[in-house]
Structures are given as structure tokens and as C-alpha cells.
Amino acid sequence: MIVSVKLKLIQSGKPTQNAFIESFNGKFRDERLHDLGVDNMAEARAIIGAWR
């Protein structure tokens, strides 16, 4: 049995093509970064790095 898989890439500027990731990103920003009072990108990167 041969199975064929086709990759579909997300077009630039079309976040609705990957709603799961967009939903996760929004929730992560709201629940983690906003609650911690992150003021700048360097601080956000440090928090995200520690979370990973």
C-alpha cells in the first residue's frame, strides 16, 4: 500500500489558515505575558525561553 502525503504551506499574511496556532498564540499572550506585566520584547523573550 502506497500512501501519498501532500504538504500545504500557510501563505504569508493568512493566519486563518492555521487557526490552532493562532489560537494558542493569543491565549499564551493573554494568560502568560499580559498577566506578568511584560513591557518589552527582551523581557518577553526571557519569559518564553524559560517556559520552553
Query: Considering only CA atoms, which of 49, 52, 48, 20 is closest in space to residue 32?
Result: 48
Mean pLDDT (whole number) for 36-51: 84
In a domain, residue 7? The reply is no
Neighbour tally for 35: CB within 10 Å: 9
pLDDT at 42 over 80: yes
In a domain, residue 44? The reply is yes
Q: What is the pTM (predicted TM-score) of this model?
A: 0.46
In a domain, residue 11? The reply is no
Domain containing 44 equals: 16-51
In a domain, residue 1? The reply is no
pLDDT at 44 over 80: yes
In a domain, residue 8? The reply is no
How many domains are there within the chain? 1
Average pLDDT, the chain: 81
In a domain, residue 39? The reply is yes
Sign of the alpha-carbon dihedral angle for 23, 27, 12, 7: negative
Sign of the alpha-carbon dihedral angle for 43, 13, 20, 4: negative
